[in-house]
Amino acid sequence: MDRTILHMDLDTFFVSVERKYDNRLKNRPVLVGGIGDRGVVAACSYETRPYGVHSGMPMKMAKALCPEATVIKGDAGAYSKESKIVTEIIREGVPLFEKASIDEFYADLSGMDKFFGCYEIATQLGNRIRRESGLPISFGLSTNKIVSKVATGVAKPDNQRKVEAGEEKPFLAPMLIKKIPMVGEKTNQILYNLGIKYVKTVQQMPMEVMGRVLGKNGIVLWNRANGIDDTPIVPFHERKSISNERTFGKDTGDVRRMREMIRAMAENLAFQLRNGNKLTSCVSVKIRYSDFNTFSRQIKIPYTSADHLLIPQVEKLFDQLFNRRMMVRLVGVTFSDLVTGNYQINMFDDCEERLNLYQAMDYIRNKYGTDERGNAILSWGTTLGIPNIASMGNPFNGEPPVIPAHRNQ
């Protein structure tokens, strides 16, 4: 039985939320991001596109290209709130869905056409989202995730597109190869140098040739170009939290040491979030005193995976919890309410240099962050001599977490 996969994308999400809160922005060029000259464009309205503006570019350049645009510093809290509203609508409307990012969703409608046409179900769901959230949304419907995602891009803005079973290959053929998900600037340039500009060229090539050019990624790209993709829907009820805790070998009242410990935990957990392409919106700190009484406190925050935003929250919670009159046995940090998404949501607070710095630090840590035995050597915890605080594994690979044999410190 052919699958029926729905892909939904909230159009220019950050801009649409701002327009929902201020309708004077409708039909006007809008830039959302860092408002300083060194800020970065997190989102831009369709009205700015003819000027050459795109997300990720320096705000200074975007304002020079489109000087009449209204520039807004983004509100991560508002975007998180609106995303959750849409998520709940989708949760009620389909039996199985995946939240791919703060503004992007997949749903498996396979078999539902026995009762009601899948396209009609998707249309009604889209209309309900528009009606109840006040936000525009586009969707694509096909037999797999890749074709549906591309179809959504074709449908935008605020529209829909269905690709019938068997029509995947001709649908993709006339498109530029960079329209295929996974083809970034570097891969696109490699293919362009080989004379490959359109999807149809890849479709006409033997799969083995693509494999020789790009290795395993070439095989994946060949399949995607031919409309072949069996990637499953990852249910939204995937892992919802990551945590780290340590029991001291001897109860301690050393505030500096405890603060170093929780800071190291937060730093490593944030790194794991970024590595797993995740964001958190809930931070918790736990303290267990020498009498075994355990206390915890949490705070809701806008979605993020950034050290400089998470570590201060962890330290703040610790200061609220710690009772200086009693020795401490254990401390722990938890990040929960996780969703798939990347660090770009913080673009409206950060300059380009900071974004590049995070990418560089994570690259170095992934490449050089372990010794010959696989132990982490590049982290806040290891520089402080705190063993086992850093993990280089992926907590979001579906496998149960590895519990070290000795977690005492």
* Residues annotated as part of the active site: 104
Helix (H) or strand (E) holding 121: helix 118-133
Distance CA 96, CA 107 (A): 6
Contact criterion met (CB below 8 Å) for 185 and 151: no
Q: What share of the chain is helix, strand, coil (3-state, %, to 5)?
A: 45, 20, 35
Residue 386: φ, ψ to 5°: -100, 105
Residue 401: φ, ψ to 5°: -65, 145
Secondary structure of residue 333 in the 3-state scheme? strand
Residue 250: φ, ψ to 5°: -140, 130
Contact criterion met (CB below 8 Å) for 370 and 390: no
Helix (H) or strand (E) holding 409: none
Contact criterion met (CB below 8 Å) for 169 and 203: yes
Residue linked to tokens 């449908």: 155
Contact criterion met (CB below 8 Å) for 147 and 227: yes
Packing angle of the helix pair 255-275, 352-368 (nearest 10 deg): 90
Binding residues for Mg(2+), as ranges, are: 9, 103
Q: What is the DSSP letter of 326?
A: S
* Cα angle value 270/276/281 (rounded, 5°): 50
Contact criterion met (CB below 8 Å) for 286 and 334: yes
Burial-class residue 79 by CB neighbours within 10 Å (0-12, 13-18, 19+): buried
Binding residues, as ranges, are: 9, 103
Half-sphere exposure of 257 (CA within 13 A, CB side): 16
Instruction: Name residues whose C-beta falls within 8 Å of residue 251's C-beta, 6 or more positions apart in sequence.
Output: 290, 327, 328, 329
